Structure 1
Amino acid sequence: MSLEVVLASGSESRRTLLAGAGVEAVAVKPNVDEEAAKASYRASGMRVSDQAMQLAELKAIKVSRARDGLVIGGDQMLNLEGEAMDKPANMAEAASHLRRFSGKTHRLETAIVIAEGGEPVWRHLSTPKLTVRPLSEPFIETYLEAAGPGVLKTVGAYQLEGLGAQLFSRIEGDYFSILGLPLLPLLDYLRVRGVLSS
């Protein structure tokens, strides 16, 4: 009997990516206090990539203690010159973030951990780099008005698969990782475990 795949996430985009790749996964919200965890990590001076990995592991382990199967925990943080940037709280903050990104390159620290029986068994970190072209104030205003409040659900106030593509002059790295899930390494691990045929 094949192992059940459980996604420890409420993320619609991660569920959609898995389903699109033919992976049947049950989604379970991990109910961890992400804000408290992030505050603790940042107070200790933890690197942004390590913060993302720790959060992914926290989610995977929490759900894995209550569910059998392979539990996937994921987290993505935006790293701007060593500073972790969170999702904007409102449209004014989204505009402020875009002003900060303008003309600069940031990294998306995209971490994924698989836990089984309450223990991590596999982890992967992908770090695509995205260069935002210089953005004018009229563009930022028009972009946010057109993109709408959906940008508040994303760490960079953009969705690359939509209007967010207009923000960038250069992108280096895996497209799926930018969307929040390093899909190709994950599929490879699921083949190794016999969940997918090789």
Structure 2
Amino acid sequence: MNLVLASGSERRRQMLEAAGLNPVVAPVEVDERRIQGTVDAQVLHIAKQKAEAVGENHADSIVLVADTMLADPDDATLALGQPVDAQGALAMLLRLRGRRHRVWSASGLRVAGTWTFDMASAVVEFSSFDDDVLADLVHSGSWKGKAGAYDFAGAMGPHASLVEGDEATVLGIPGRVLLALSGL
């Protein structure tokens, strides 16, 4: 099986490799400005945009696209995506510190020319870490390219716990999609 990961996410590549897959990485670029609607609708919309951007490329391969966002803990309709700079990361981490939030991951899988989309959510809770930890998280740069400004399997790991759902969803690929891929 030839699998193409149409994403530049290092974490997604690592997840696929850990599942015994060896994806060809071929990121696509789309306008990820948020659309109106619920967070789940937004993340699915972006995954579908990525599928459109793939077009007919890699026709003889299985292709995976994905996107991840989280819902603001105060407004479940407000999406938190990737911060653009350290100040944005700081603002997101301050908003999430000591609280629970829902993470949404959507994916599209093209097999034999047909796209199938999936979506899952999980709930993560942050501890009430102190300002020194907050500063370390921002200065580490671990927030770069991460929805909500954190890497659940990295620097944020000791300060976050999974309350509901599966870790794969938080990391960027719905767990059942990862399981299906490993069975191909």
* TM-score > 0.5, shorter chain as reference: yes
Deviation at residue 54 of structure 1 after TM alignment:
1.2
Partners of 2:181 and 2:161 lie apart in 1 by 33
Name which one, 1 or 2, has greater alpha-carbon Rg: 1
- Would the aligned equivalents of 1:61 and 1:115 in 2 still touch at CA under 8 Å? no
Count of matched residue pairs: 180
Partners of 1:14 and 1:135 lie apart in 2 by 27
Any gaps of 5 or more consecutive residues in structure 1? none
Which structure features the higher share of helix residues?
1
Deviation at residue 72 of structure 1 after TM alignment:
1.0
Partner of 2:177: 185
Question: CA-atom RMSD, angstroms?
Answer: 2.2
- Give the match's secondary structure for 1:134: coil
2:110 is equivalent to residue 111 of structure 1: no
TM-score (norm 1): 0.80
Q: 1:137 aligns with which of 124, 128, 131?
A: 131
Q: 1:62 aligns with which of 53, 76, 85?
A: 53
Deviation at residue 116 of structure 1 after TM alignment:
4.8
Deviation string 1:131-172 (CA, Å, 9 cap, x unpaired) is: 122243343224433xx1231221122212222023325532
Deviation at residue 70 of structure 1 after TM alignment:
2.2
Deviation at residue 94 of structure 1 after TM alignment:
1.4
Q: 1:87 aligns with which of 53, 68, 82?
A: 82
Deviation at residue 55 of structure 1 after TM alignment:
0.9
- Would the aligned equivalents of 1:48 and 1:109 in 2 still touch at CA under 8 Å? yes
Partner of 1:48: 39
Within-5 A mapping of 1:4-23: 4-23=2-21
Partner of 1:172: 164
TM-score (norm 2): 0.85
Which range moved further: 99-108 or 61-70? 61-70
Partner of 2:118: 124
- Would the aligned equivalents of 1:151 and 1:157 in 2 still touch at CA under 8 Å? yes
- Would the aligned equivalents of 1:52 and 1:77 in 2 still touch at CA under 8 Å? yes
